[in-house]
A = this chain, B = another copy of it.
Amino acid sequence: MKLPKYKQIASDIQGLVDTQKLGAGDLLPTEKELMSQYDVSRVTIRKALAELESQEVIVRISGKGTYINGSKARRNALELKGFLEDIHAQGKQPSSRVLDFKLTMADASLAQKLSIEINMPVYAITRLRLINDEPEILEHTFMPAMLFPELSIDIMNTSKYEYIEKDKGLKIALSRETVVAEVADQQLADTLNVEVGYPLIKVMSIGELEDGTCFEYSENYFTSKQFSFEIMARR
């Protein structure tokens, strides 16, 4: 754990917000004060603050000071989170059921999405995710077998993201998602326990590690019942 100073400072301040030691609208110490407080240069403080500002944790106003962002803006908007973290944070009961788990070969379309060669082995996993025993999300996930030689159903029954980051020590960087609307056909309706014709959000996403490697492609169906997508589009 050798984080650079500016990241340590950023997560330190983030911690103060998370633990309610700093609340909406509160004025942060000035950059000069933070300099002596952390005993670093101003550039380092500013880099830490820049990071927090980009995540909308704080607002910097020239000539006045730096404030904790009070707007109800969900900062989670664009964060990529695992299902478990996500739902826990909302205080709901999560669970997950693996419907299918097999090793197969990538066809042309999948190979292109994962940036691998055709016919390379991939795990194909179908999972149903439930909240309070209500089916909510149907996931079709494809992961290159080369990256995860010991992948098992057990792992997919817990948190996929925890496995990748904690057990494998890989760093997830981002996911690229395409969102479209789709109506439930008979099979989707049965699985997700809705009526045929019910509106679903379909998200196709490619997950990338920090070195640019694609670690998964997945097609997920969400009922609009408990989910929506929050996007912040910067001009």
Contacts and interface: CB of A to CB of B under 8 A. Distances in A.
Interface of A: 43, 59, 71, 73, 77-80, 171-183, 197-201, 212, 224, 228-235
Instruction: Name the residue among A71, A172, A176 with the largest chain B CB count within 10 angstroms.
Output: A176
Please report whether the interface of chain A is mostly helix, strand, loop or mixed according to DSSP: strand
A201 B182 CA distance: 9
Indicate how many identical chains form the complex.
Answer: 2
Contacts of A183: 183, 197-199
A231 B179 contact: yes
Given A59-B212, A175-B232, 15 more contacts: A43-B43, A78-B232, A78-B234, A80-B235, A171-B235, A173-B234, A174-B233, A176-B231, A176-B233, A179-B201, A179-B228, A181-B199, A182-B199, A183-B198, A231-B231
A79 B234 contact: yes
Given A179-B179, A201-B179, A174 B235 contact: yes
A10 B23 CA distance: 35
